[in-house]
Amino acid sequence: MQEYPSLVWHLKNTQLFDDLSEDELEQLTRLTPYRHYAAGDVIYHMEDPADALYFVRDGMVKISVYFANGKEMILDLLGQYDIFGELLLLESERRPNQAEAVKDTTLIVMPESDFQRLLQEHPRIAMKFLKVMSTRLWQAQQWQAEVGAYDAPGRLANLLLRLAGDFGHEVERGTEIDLSLTQQDLAKMIGATRETVSHCLARLLEYGAVRKRRTPIVVDVVALERFLDEADA
């Protein structure tokens, strides 16, 4: 069984709570249990009640939307200390997306009613939470703009650049994206088919922006940026 540092320690390392006192954090620990999910477990489905806010202790979470025709669009991949479920404050009180553990994952869970009370008692946390939601809105708008501005190779290059920044580490050949992503996963993230992604990866490989096209993918960040600059020209 994996051992963790104290829950107070984890909350202190979470953006929303990093300026709370030890006593305040101790009070929070009574409201925020750990929950463990195996790879493939659904944390919540679309239309489930929006009853909790989640913090990633370790592991990885996929946020997706499923459409009536059965297709899935992957909106985001989240890692340690990321927050999700932030739309729990919407009036609909239903989840507009689905969250699923990509690999074995441990979450810190805060019930919605306790979070509402926390925002009222600590205005500085409310301001940080607004910043989190504003950042997510900006990212969604950026992605929407990219979908309209770039063709499929450009969208894939943008995605790989973002994943390299979030999940990459340097190896001898470039930046390795430490994710077990299939071509179908990438297709669901850029609104394309798996065949299109395969062709795009081949093009980026030929250009030198991708050094290894099979998972874990290795990219050349500078070449990806140059590819996108040329696409803009």
In sequence order, the β-bridge partners of residue 46 are: none
CATH number for the region 7-147 comes to: 2.60.120.10
Enumerate the H helices of the chain as residue ranges. 7-12, 22-29, 112-121, 123-149, 152-167, 183-190, 194-207, 221-232
pLDDT of residue 1: 39
pLDDT tens figures, 106-117: 998 988 888 888
How confident is residue 119, by pLDDT bands cut at 50, 70 and 90?
A: confident
**pTM of this prediction?**
0.81
How confident is residue 148, by pLDDT bands cut at 50, 70 and 90?
A: low
Extents of the domains making up the chain: 7-147, 150-232
pLDDT mean over 121-126: 82
Q: Judge if 7-147 and 150-232 fold alike in CATH terms.
A: no
Q: In 10 A of CB 96, how many CB atoms?
A: 12
pLDDT tens figures, 163-212: 999 899 999 999 999 888 899 999 999 989 999 999 999 999 999 999 99
Fold assignment, 150-232? Arc Repressor Mutant, subunit A (1.10.10)
pLDDT tens figures, 60-81: 999 999 999 989 999 889 988 8
pLDDT of residue 28: 77
**CA-CA distance, 165 to 152, in Å (whole number)?**
20
**CA-CA distance, 31 to 109, in Å (whole number)?**
8
